[in-house]
């Protein structure tokens, strides 16, 4: 059974940093592209970042470029999102999501971790 479990969310002050983790199991992690998607309270989905299985290709939303860094540990089956210079508008539930094998649609999702940026 495929499982994605996010952790690392919490309350942080504006300008602060946070590192999210996504622990995975039930599939060969290195074979799949992974994403972070966020959802502000009561709002729609916003795609945040993508990383290919090897880690060699990475994309970001314009809203987080230069502040967030996606990475992965294929030996440890984990995905990460380092978030720096956090703003109030980064407040959201952050989901990690796995792509289909050869298609970048998002098949498996974690339950999400809440990040709140507030003083």
Partner 1 sequence: DIVMTQSPDSLAVSLGERATINCKSSQSVLYSSNNKNYLAWYQQKPGQPPKLLIYGASSRESGVPDRFRGSGSGTDFTLTITSLQAEDVAVYYCQQYYSAPYSFGQGTKLEIK
Residue 32 within binding range of partner 1, rule CB under 8 A: no
Q: Helix, strand or coil for residue 67?
A: coil
CB of 108: closest distance to partner 1 in angstroms?
A: 8
Is residue 26 within 8 A of residue 3, CB to CB? The reply is: yes
Residue 107 within binding range of partner 1, rule CB under 8 A: yes
- Determine the Cα–Cα distance for residues 95 and 110; give it in Å rounded to an integer: 6
Q: Pick the binder of partner 1 from 29, 32, 80, 95 (CB under 8 A).
A: 95
- Determine the Cα–Cα distance for residues 66 and 69; give it in Å rounded to an integer: 8
Residues in contact with partner 1 by the rule CB under 8 A: 35, 37, 44-47, 50, 59-62, 95, 97, 100, 103-107, 109-112
């Amino acid at each position: 059974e495929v499982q994605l479990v996010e952790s690392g969310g919490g309350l942080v002050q504006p300008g602060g940093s946070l590192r999210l983790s996504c622990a995975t199991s039930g599939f060969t992690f290195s074979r799949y592209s992974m994403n972070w998607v966020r959802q502000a309270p009561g709002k729609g989905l916003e795609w945040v970042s993508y990383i290919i299985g090897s880690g060699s290709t990475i994309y970001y939303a314009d809203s987080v470029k230069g502040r967030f860094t996606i990475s992965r540990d294929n030996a440890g089956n984990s995905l990460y999102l380092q978030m720096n210079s956090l703003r109030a508008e980064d407040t959201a539930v952050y989901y990690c999501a796995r792509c289909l094998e050869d298609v970048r649609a998002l098949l498996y999702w974690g339950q999400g971790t809440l990040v709140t940026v507030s003083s």
